[in-house]
Every structure is written in structure tokens, then in C-alpha cells.
Structure 1
Amino acid sequence: MNAELLENLGLTKAEIKVYLCLLELNSASASEIAERCGIYRKNAYDALGRLIKKGLVGFAKVETKTIFIATEPQKLLDFLEVRKSEIRSILPELKKIYRAKPAFDDVAVFKGKNGLKSIFEELLKSRANYDLFGSAEKFKEILPYYYPIYQRKKAENKVQCRGIYSENERGKEYVKEFIGEARFLHKEFVNQLSTTMVYDPNVAIIIWKENPIGIVIKSPEVAESYKRYFEMLWANAKT
């Protein structure tokens, strides 16, 4: 049983342990549950109380004892629907707070290969044209299967792109796969360990390493500054 899935639903580790034990037992006293789970009886009571509030456990009085009963696992879906309903009820207020916040630069950090894919997919979804400078080699090296897919999706979405690469990357297969207009500069002017992408009002800085990092800055002023820098490089780059 993947307990992590239950944890993602908002159950604590103690609640998960008690709930799974009770599913096996079907019905039991708190003492029996505590013994079966290998936890203190007080902790079992606390977890049972919370599970009852969540509708995942019921109870009955049998003579002088309280017997706890596991409800149908289908109740997990009901519990999830209740949580979704609660979130929906506060969304209007949360949106008011979000809109009312003062303007400032948003910075988001994405870690790992899937994090980088999120950045690229969001760019494709926006269909925004963009400029970039940095390493194509590292992109292909770290995301070898995704690189050609991304280039193909750019063409399908009619996303136009200008790229500045190091002179020593000219003629490389991965540069030939690049969909867009490419120019080249001497390697000392192009960072081979990162790629910077400018798509107003965003700037995405990708740091290529084994566990890559992507930093997305949402700011028209910052984007404009990087745009001017790119145009200066572009004017001096060679085709």
C-alpha cells in the first residue's frame, strides 16, 4: 500500500497507520488497534478521533467498550470532495487577496529535469516568441529525449526564436535541430553552463548541472533590460 498517496490527501502518518490497521481488522477497540499498529493507546485515540471527523472511521458502543469500525474505502473520495468543496468556498476571498497585493517582481525556482520541462511547456503554452543565449549542448545532454520534442513543439505552435550560441557549437547536430534563427559569438561571451531565455515579461535562467535549476523572473523591467543586452549581443554575433 502506497501510504504516500494517503498522506497527499492530508492524512497524518499516525492516521494512515491506524486507518490501514483498522481496514485489516474491520472493527476493533482502541487498545487492539494500538497493539496492532505498535503505537501508544493515547496516540491511537487521537488519530481515531480525527479519522471520525473526516468520515473515515465510525464507532459503536458494545456493552462498556467503544468499538471502532472502518468505513468503506470509497469514503476517501467523499473526503476528497469535501476538501475540494472547502477550497472552492474560500477561492473568491483568496482571489481578492491575490489581486489586491502590491505589484512586485515574482520569482519562481524550479528544480530537477521535470521542473525545467514545466518552464518550457509553459512557454510553449503561451506561444510567446523569445530570445535566448547560452548552451544548446547542455540542454541536449541533460534532456536528450525532450530536446527534439521541444523543438518540434516550437514549430507546431509557430513560436519564433532567436538563439545566440558559442562559436564552437557551430555545425553541431543539436544546433542543427534548433528551430529558430541562430547566430554565434566567441565562446568567452557565451556561458556554457547556463541558458537565458527572454520572453516578455519573463526572464528564465537555466543552470545546467546534474540536478538542474530554473529561475523564472516575472518583471517587465528586468525583461526589458535583458532584451537590450540580447540585442547588443545579436548585433555583434555572426550567422
Structure 2
Amino acid sequence: MDTSVLEDIGLSSTEIKVFLTLLKSGESKAGRIIKKSGLQSSSVYNAINSLIKKGLVSYVKESQIKYYKAANPEVIFDYIDIKKREYEKILPKLKSYQQQKDEESAQIFRTYRGIKTIMSELLKDVNKRDVLLIFSIENLEEYKLARSNVYTPTKKLVSEKKVKMRGIFHENLREPRKKDSIMQKRYVKFSIIPNTMVINDKIAIISWKENEPFGVLIHSKSMAKSYADFFDYMWKTGKP
């Protein structure tokens, strides 16, 4: 018999063995349970007390001797309902913890090393189901600078994570299509939000216009969704 479902509802392996022993043996003294289950006496008594608290075992006392009996197995449904109600009581508190974690934040990074840190943080905790959305740089010189110093070294990390990539580029950056490219590209003839990347709840905005580049990494679920929605709109208007 597969008892894993009993473990899933919170019973220990010792409690399960004692409960099943009582189901098979019927009303029993502790000594008989110890003998039948093959468990140590202290483990059996601890399990019995725990099962009594859970409403899964009852006892009667005759001549100062306790006789234990397993409850009807259907009582387990009542036990599950109790656990469900207990969980529902603490659910609002758990949700409040999640809301605290989801609070928006922003960090500023400087220098090429800082931009590489942004890329590393951007791709942290992502998987092959995620898609990195890129609003590319419009200026050709800045694009070459960014690609050689940051984007090309980051390709290995992108490849390891098996993250899908989609990028929107200005027509002046159009290149011959490469069969082995890991990025899907669309081109537009109008200005776009430059130097911006979005994935999950993270947004990276990078400036290359100074000798010392800097970038901002934003954690915001709502902002990331707005950027992603705008990207999807532009994607539909772009050309391969």
C-alpha cells in the first residue's frame, strides 16, 4: 500500500504505521501495538498521543489499562478540513509577506562592470520558458560599443539559461539575417524606447552616452507588464 498520501497530509511515518496497525488489529493495548508495528515503545506512545490530538485515534480505560482504537478512515477528511481552515486563517498574513517582497525597487549601476552586473541580475532566476525583450539602441556607434563591451560577453549566460530573446531594432541597424541567431528580431522606422530590456518583473535601462555608462535596474511587476505590453504592440508593427 502506498502511504505517501498520508505523509502528504502531515502524518509522520511512525504515526502512519501505528494508525495502520490499529486499523488491522482493532482495539489494542499499547504493548500489542508495539509488538505488531515493530517500533520502539517511546515512538509508539508519542505517535498515539499525536494521533489522539488529531482525532485519528481514541481510547477507553478499563481497570487502569488503556485500549486504543483507530478512528474510521473517513475521519481523515475531517482532519484535512481542519487543516484547510487553519491554513485559511493564516493565508492573509502569508499574502502580506508576498506583497512586502513584491515592493518596487530600483538600483543604479555605473561603469562597464556595473552594466554587466545589471545583465547578470536581469537573468538571475530565469529559465527557458522566459523571454528577454529588448528595445535596442538606435545610435550605431553606441550599439557597437554596447555589443562589444557587454552584450557579446553576456551571450554565454543567455545561452546557458536557454532564455528566448526578442529584439526591436531601428531600420538603420538592420543586418543580414543569421540562421544561428538566438534572437528573433523586428525592425521599425520610427524612434523606440532605447537601451531597455524587460524580463519577468525586471526592467533594465542603460545609458551609453557618456564616457562612463550607467544603468538602472528596476523591480516592478506592474511597470514590467506595461513595458512588455508596449513591446508586444511594437512587435506587431515591426518587420522581420
TM-score, normalized by length of structure 1?
A: 0.50
Larger Rg: 2
TM-score, normalized by length of structure 2?
A: 0.50
